[in-house]
Amino acid sequence: MTRDILDMLEERIVVGVATGDINRWVHTYTLSHGAAPAPLNYRGFPKSVCTTLNNQVCHGIPDGTVLKDGDILNVDVTSILDGYYGDASRMFLIGEVSEEARKLVQVTRECLYLGIEQVKPGHTLGDIGHAIQQHAERHGYSVVRDYIGHGTGLQFHEPPEVRHFGKPGTGEMLAPNMVFTIEPMINAGDYKVEILKDGWTVVTADGSLSAQWEHTMRVTEDGVEVLTG
Ligand code: MF3
Ligand code: CO
Ligand code: CO
């Protein structure tokens, strides 16, 4: 369901669309397919999806903001179907995007998939974080510390905490049927962040661009199954 919602958005998100339009499309599609949008009223979050633009890091609130040429946008969808949560996000490039921004989006996507490659029984959470941090920092980017991946399933956020930085061989050991997200937030500049007065929107402290990609996955007997893939 979560993947289908993101797929539905691919052709619709273009120059001139408002982030509030995206909220309406996600909300309507989710309900009409028998699911519920997890963000709505979660700890007081006012909308059904997070839309996070340019120098914002995560938890952007859909509003009247109109997408313009050159923007980069993260849409983070979490739906609840038959009591189970699925959580995933993608980046959307709006019109002609600078080479600099496209590279950040691409490297961040690579960070997600390098993290996923580490998911198998016997590996640790630190192996995931290390793979992501190495790749981001090799490109001169930084890994956001204050927001992390998480177990999910019967609640939005469950143990374990999945850091996107760390040391190989450290942290909890992965075992079959653990279900969690990996969702690196990578900044072009410094990793420090601030929260806007709306109480939700997280932005880079230095104003630099930020990107994020997210999947929910299950550890299998010999590897990983990407549940939102
Ligand atoms: N989907 C986000 C995550 O990846 C959480 C959003 S919480 C909300 O964990 F309240 F902002 F929706
Ligand atoms: Co998540
Ligand atoms: Co999410």
Say how many Å lie between the CA of residue 214 and the centre of ligand 3.
6
Cβ atoms 164, 16 nearer than 8 A: no
Q: So what's the pLDDT on residue 186? A: 99
Q: So what's the pLDDT on residue 216? A: 99
Tracing tokens 């499309």 back to the chain, one arrives at: 25
- For ligand 1, atom 4, the nearest C-alpha belongs to 87
Give backbone dihedrals phi and psi of 141, rounded to 5 degrees, phi first.
-95, 175
Tokens standing for residue 113: 């998939």
The three-class DSSP label of residue 31 is: helix
Instruction: Give 151-172 pLDDT, tens digit per residue.
Output: 999 999 999 999 999 999 999 9
Count of beta carbons in the 10 Å neighbourhood of residue 51: 27
Nearest atom within ligand 1 for CA of residue 39: 12
Say how many Å lie between the CA of residue 32 and the centre of ligand 1.
21
Please tell me if the CB atom of residue 78 comes closer than 6 angstroms to any atom of ligand 1: yes
Cβ atoms 48, 41 nearer than 8 A: no
Total domains present in the chain: 1
Distance CA(168)–CA(26), nearest Å, equals 38
Tokens standing for residue 215: 């999947």
The Cβ-side half-sphere exposure at 97, using a 13 Å CA radius, reads 20
Q: So what's the pLDDT on residue 64? A: 98
Say how many Å lie between the CA of residue 38 and the centre of ligand 3.
10
Give backbone dihedrals phi and psi of 33, rounded to 5 degrees, phi first.
-105, 15
The residues that bridge with 181 in the sheet, in sequence order, are 216
- CATH no. for residue 26? 3.90.230.10
Instruction: Give 93-147 pLDDT, tens digit per residue.
Output: 999 999 999 999 999 999 999 999 999 999 999 999 999 999 999 999 999 999 9
Beta sheet of 142-143, edge-to-edge order? 142-143, 185-187, 210-212
pTM of the model: 0.98
Q: So what's the pLDDT on residue 92? A: 99
* DSSP string for residues in 187-227: ESS-S-EEE-TTSS-EEETT---EEE-BEEEEE-SSSEEET
Distance CA(96)–CA(37), nearest Å, equals 31
168: containing domain: 2-226
Q: So what's the pLDDT on residue 188? A: 99
Count of beta carbons in the 10 Å neighbourhood of residue 196: 13
Cβ atoms 154, 84 nearer than 8 A: yes
The residue type at 209: L
Cβ atoms 212, 193 nearer than 8 A: no
